Amino acid sequence: MFHALNSLSTLDAVLLVSALSMDAFVASFAYGTSKIKIPFKSAMTINLVCSTILAIALFMGSIISKYIPSAFTTSICVTVLLMLGMAKLFDSTLKAILIKSGTLSRDLSFKLFDFKFFLRVCLDGTEADVDHSYELSPKESFSLAVALSLDGLAAGFSTGLMVTNYVEIIIFSLVINMVAVLLGCFLGNKVAQKSELNLSWLSGVTLILLAFLKLK
């Protein structure tokens, strides 16, 4: 039997968006410690791309939910959130090990929409500044935002299976993502020397908490 969708509580919506914004905060912090500026236009690019992908995922989830029995939608949502949470915890541990051993490669890269974007996660934020201008361009920001949105795609889809208050979630995303990027860069600039900020574990714990809240 199919079901009527419910609204995600305000607290749950804030927790979801905050968890998904953690990567943007950490990336911006890393750029700040490397004295790489993120102009308002670039910050807005990251914000809009992340929020748009989340919105698309929520919409896709709501469409698919019409064809899935309610017993399965809850299971899918909880499973996806748990898997994302555990992946974040694993990611946090792996990064800590690689940073400590110094084995992260300088050649780590990916190609997306014909933009070659070099990333050295948590080791050297200047590698993200491809043109060495010490300013993140909108093009670089776009590529980064798509990479940061992968978690939002999965979490948004699973959440969309169960909720109807998409507008509220997207508004929170637009606000919290923007704050995460600007605050991360600002705090990074205030740090006297480069430091490795690894908050993937916090994002993971939050997503796992959300999964258990959905079991209520």
pLDDT block averages, 10 residues each, the chain of length 216: 57 88 85 84 94 94 83 78 79 65 47 40 45 76 82 86 84 95 89 60 73 65
Provide the pLDDT for residue 43: 95
Give the residue from 145, 142, 165, 162 showing the smallest Cα distance to 153. Answer: 145
Provide the pLDDT for residue 132: 59
Enclosing H/E stretch for 116: strand 115-118
Tokens of 41: 């236009």
Give the residue from 23, 59, 61, 31 showing the smallest Cα distance to 177. Answer: 23
* Largest pairwise CA distance in the chain: 59
SS percent in the chain: helix, strand, coil, step 5? 70, 5, 25
Name, in order, each residue with C-beta under 8 angstroms of 100's C-beta and a sequence gap of 6 or more. Answer: none
Provide the pLDDT for residue 9: 78
Enclosing H/E stretch for 111: strand 109-112
Provide the pLDDT for residue 94: 66
Provide the pLDDT for residue 189: 84
Provide the pLDDT for residue 102: 58
Provide the pLDDT for residue 120: 46
